[in-house]
């Protein structure tokens, strides 16, 4: 059985004070739900203070990326050890904005995933096609390549610790959502890639989130689909009311 998993990616939003207020509101609303995994991914600057708010609740803490070296002269980077030291258990890896603006590739995704696994952090690997790739009928091929590249050298045992987030790039922050049917079909295709790379057991046990304009009014339908196990939420994760409703999805 795959446990539903709702994550909020706050991106480059929230001062420390605002981050604490949002986390406090969410702990009050949803901090005692036990049948789903709930995760907040604030900016690095608020990881420690948000951890103080969520640490006695069922809400987990994650970072938005990690650097793959252990320590040293890498100005501006943050290591896995540093993330653990402020209470992180998850890390988003390969978000399309990292791919688009900061040179993330399948190779760098793979390095980040490996350091997470070495350091006992749980990666959420983001994949997804551009609009022109979907229109050219290449969406599944693009996602297959991202998954295969990102997971190079990862064992079946480690694969069970990884969450995949399918986020069609054209649906992120645009208000356009993939139809629940299209998203479910892509999730099924991702499971078949996992079956090819590993086995049926891995394909059936990996949690696959959908991301891209998930909102209170579409979360229930998305979550009712067989292959959609969760959501990675951007814009609608920035307010207590909307994210609390998403966490409390009904299906």
What tokens does 177 get?
């959502």
Question: 232, 240, 246, 247: which one contacts ligand PGA (CB under 6 A)?
Answer: 232
Given 18, 95, 132, 200, the catalytic residue: 95
Residue 119 a catalytic site member: no
Q: Which stretch binds ligand PGA (CB under 6 A): 27-35, 66-74, 82-90, 212-220?
A: 212-220
Does 124 participate in binding ligand PGA (rule CB under 6 A)? no
Q: Which stretch binds ligand PGA (CB under 6 A): 22-30, 134-142, 194-202, 226-234?
A: 226-234
Of 204, 93, 208, residue with least CA distance to 156: 204
DSSP per position, 175-220:
S----HHHHHHHHHHHHHHHHHHS-HHHHHHS-EEEESS--TTTHH
Helix 240-247, helix 16-30: angle, nearest 10: 40
Could you tell me how far CA 191 lies from the centroid of its own chain? 17
Closest-by-Cβ residue to ligand PGA is 234
Does 214 participate in binding ligand PGA (rule CB under 6 A)? yes
Does 183 participate in binding ligand PGA (rule CB under 6 A)? no
Backbone angles phi, psi at 104, to 5 degrees: -65, 135
CA 94, CA 103: separation in Å to the nearest integer? 10
Specify the pairing of strand 122-127 against strand 163-166: parallel
Residue 29 a catalytic site member: no
Question: 211, 229, 230, 246: which one contacts ligand PGA (CB under 6 A)?
Answer: 211
Does 235 participate in binding ligand PGA (rule CB under 6 A)? yes
Q: Contact 67/74 with Cβ under 8 angstroms?
A: yes
Nearer Cβ to ligand PGA (164/203): 164
Does 9 participate in binding ligand PGA (rule CB under 6 A)? yes
CB of 98 to ligand PGA, least distance (A): 10
Does 212 participate in binding ligand PGA (rule CB under 6 A)? yes
CA 190, CA 164: separation in Å to the nearest integer? 9
Q: Which stretch binds ligand PGA (CB under 6 A): 52-60, 108-116, 208-216, 218-226?
A: 208-216
CB of 70 to ligand PGA, least distance (A): 28
CA 58, CA 39: separation in Å to the nearest integer? 9
Nearer Cβ to ligand PGA (93/214): 214
Residue positions annotated with a catalytic role: 95, 167
């Amino acid at each position: 059985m795959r446990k539903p998993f709702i994550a909020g990616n706050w991106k480059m939003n929230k001062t420390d004070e605002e981050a604490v207020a949002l986390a406090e509101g969410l702990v009050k609303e949803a901090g005692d739900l036990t049948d789903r995994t709930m995760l907040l991914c604030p900016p690095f600057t608020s990881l420690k203070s948000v951890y103080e708010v969520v640490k006695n609740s069922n809400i987990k803490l994650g970072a938005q990326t990690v650097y793959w070296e252990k320590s040293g002269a890498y100005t501006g980077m943050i290591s896995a050890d540093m993330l653990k030291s402020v209470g992180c258990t998850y890390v988003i890896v390969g978000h399309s904005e990292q791919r688009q603006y900061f040179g993330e590739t399948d190779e760098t995704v793979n390095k980040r995933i490996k350091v997470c696994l070495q350091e006992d952090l749980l990666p959420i690997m983001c994949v997804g096609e551009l609009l022109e790739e979907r229109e050219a009928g290449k969406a599944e091929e693009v996602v297959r390549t991202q998954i295969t590249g990102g997971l190079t050298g990862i064992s079946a045992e480690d694969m069970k610790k990884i969450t995949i987030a399918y986020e069609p790039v054209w649906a992120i922050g645009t208000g356009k959502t993939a139809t629940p049917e299209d998203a479910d079909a892509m999730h099924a295709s991702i499971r078949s890639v996992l079956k090819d790379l590993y086995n049926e057991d891995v394909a059936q046990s990996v949690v696959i989130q959908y991301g891209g304009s998930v909102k209170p009014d579409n979360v229930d339908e998305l979550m009712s689909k067989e292959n959609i196990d969760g959501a990675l939420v951007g814009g609608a994760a920035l307010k207590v009311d909307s994210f609390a409703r998403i966490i409390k999805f009904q299906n």
